[in-house]
Amino acid sequence: MSDPGRDPDGGRPLGPGDVRDRPERWEVVAGSTVFEGHVFNVRRDRVRMPRGAGTEVVGRDVIEHLGSVGVLALDGDDRVLLLRQYRHPVGRLLWEAPAGLRDVAGEPLQRLAERELLEEAGYRAGRWDTLADVFPSSGMSDERVRIFLARDLTEVPAAEIDFERVHEEADMPVVWVPLDEAVGKVLAGEIHNMIAVTGILAAHVARARGFRDLRPVDAPEG
């Protein structure tokens, strides 16, 4: 077994400066699609383990996902916007941040985020920054999510929003929660949605740093 504190390639000790995710792709010796859906497909790969003397090949099921964006909206009173939505897979009403799928090819992520904030919550933002980039379920899915921080908010009259909510989105109440209180709800296990949890905690840290470390909206996802 390799030393968990050493780089298995170079053998040198690893430190805090090495903690940065990087691209890597191990050899896939065979693969097939076992399910095709509207939002995601499921692919079954046979992957060669590079540290197994080239002989160990294991199966890995991969959910191929469109990807999504999320919006953590923060108003001038340091309150975050949360909306409640029914989520059938987990059997819960979850408090979430506005979010949407990357289902329009070539659409800039900020434009998608702007549309979701308008359609789901009824607001526009004058200031946008990148808050966090995450792989929500990297052990099984290639889904990636960019979470934006939206500020300088303006409410848009419902008559000016050309969008009809249907299905789970037909009834989504919106509540403004003080950021510090939202952090407490995350730590108390009262909020579970990944985008909301990540966005709330990241916004709390960003505010403590005066928002100076935020990346621009078009920063590379890496």
- In angstroms and rounded to an integer, the radius of gyration of the C-alpha atoms of the chain is 20
Residue 2 structure tokens: 């390799």
Residues 8, 62, 202, 90: is their CA dihedral positive or negative? negative
Pick the catalytic residue: 155, 169, 181, 190? Answer: 169
Q: Is 192 exposed, middle or buried (0-12, 13-18, 19+ CB in 10 A)?
A: middle
Q: Rounded distance, CA 213 to CA 25, Å? A: 30
Q: Rounded distance, CA 135 to CA 141, Å? A: 8
Residue 169 annotated to the active site: yes
Q: How far is CA 107 from CA 43, 101, 103, 123, 138, in A?
A: 25, 11, 8, 20, 24
Residues 205, 210, 212, 215: is their CA dihedral positive or negative? positive
Q: How far is CA 133 from CA 91, 141, 151, 160, 169, in A?
A: 26, 15, 18, 31, 25
Q: Rounded distance, CA 185 to CA 141, Å? A: 27
Phi, psi for residue 175 in degrees, rounded to 5: -135, 140
Residues belonging to the active site:
169
